[in-house]
Amino acid sequence: MGLDVNWAIRWLTLSAQAMAEHRMELIELDRPIGDSDHGENMDRGFKAVMVKLAESPPESAGAAMKLTAMTLMSKVGGAAGPLYGTAFLRAGTALGDTVDVDAAALAAALLAARDGIVARGKAESGDKTMVDAWTPAVDAAAGAAEDGDVRAVLLAAAEAAEAGAVSTDPMLARKGRASYLGERSIGHRDPGAVSSALILRAAAGAVE
């Protein structure tokens, strides 16, 4: 069994809950290497996604991703809004109007999301950004997809993203606000990598 629109709605709902629950943590992470707004931005964005989902319920997982993209682009602002917006838009385009998303299509959508983030932000692995969560996640997802189990794909992605977020601690930031700090960015975890891991963990949690 693949994933459907109800999974997508559960995913977005769990993501919104995670952004609300971890709002202060994301704000605190953004304080030393940014401007202390990441938790605020993400919580506001996903609250707006919940409103949109209720107003115009999507008919496919892909449509849910596109609605999320539009909402995050207009409500999140800063660096993260356009980056997550592009990620969800590319994922939605990759899924199209498929009603039953299998493991291969899921891994392909995650890859498309990561490629969208890279196309938009031009960060490479090791630059201390959300890409350092997404790239290990899509690699793990691709490996897990070979067995054809959507839950395994998302669990692998979430676990790799969490490790990827931790891996940003010793990195020197080369993109975004944190890059203004140069060497002083070392020793802090990237907030966008942490929010990315939370969103991917929510995706796994949404599988029934």
Q: Which residue ranges make up the site for ligand ADP (CB under 6 A)?
A: 30, 34-35, 37-38, 41, 78-80, 83, 117, 121-123, 129-131, 175-177, 190-193
Comparison of 80 and 95: residue with beta carbon closer to ligand ADP: 80
Partner whose binding site includes residue 144, from Mg ion, ligand ADP, none (CB under 5 to 8 Å by kind): none
Closest to 93 measured CA to CA, from 71, 73, 115, 76: 115
DSSP category for residue 173: P
C-alpha angle 185-135-33 in degrees, rounded to nearest 5: 15
Instruction: Report the candidate in 79, 3, 16, 7 with the shortest Cα–Cα distance to residue 44.
Output: 16
Give me the residue whose beta carbon is nearest to ligand ADP.
192
Q: Is 37 in the site for Mg ion (CB under 5 A)?
A: yes
Among ligand ADP, Mg ion, none, partner that 129 touches (CB below 5 to 8 angstroms by kind): ligand ADP
Residues within window 133-152 making contact with Mg ion, judged by CB under 5 A: none
Name the binder of 201 from Mg ion, ligand ADP, none, CB < 5-8 A by kind.
Answer: none
**N residues, the chain:** 208
Least distance between ligand ADP and beta carbon 87 (Å): 10
Contacts (CB under 5 A) with Mg ion, residues 47-86: 78
CA distances from 128 to 29, 149, 175, 185 (A): 13, 31, 7, 9
Pick what 91 binds: Mg ion, ligand ADP, none; C-beta below 5 to 8 Å, kind-dependent.
none
Task: Name the DSSP letter for residue 179.
Answer: G
Q: Under 8 Å CB-to-CB from 105, ≥6 apart: which residues?
A: 2, 94, 95, 98
Instruction: Find out whether 109 and 154 touch, Cβ atoms under 8 Å.
Output: no
Number of H helices, E strands in the chain: 9, 0
Cβ at position 32, least distance to ligand ADP in Å? 11
Q: Which is nearer to Mg ion, 66 or 128 (CB)?
A: 128
180 is an interface residue for Mg ion by CB under 5 A: no
Smallest separation, CB 65 to ligand ADP (Å): 19
> Which residues share a beta bridge with 3?
101
**Whose Cβ is closer to ligand ADP: residue 105's or residue 158's?**
158
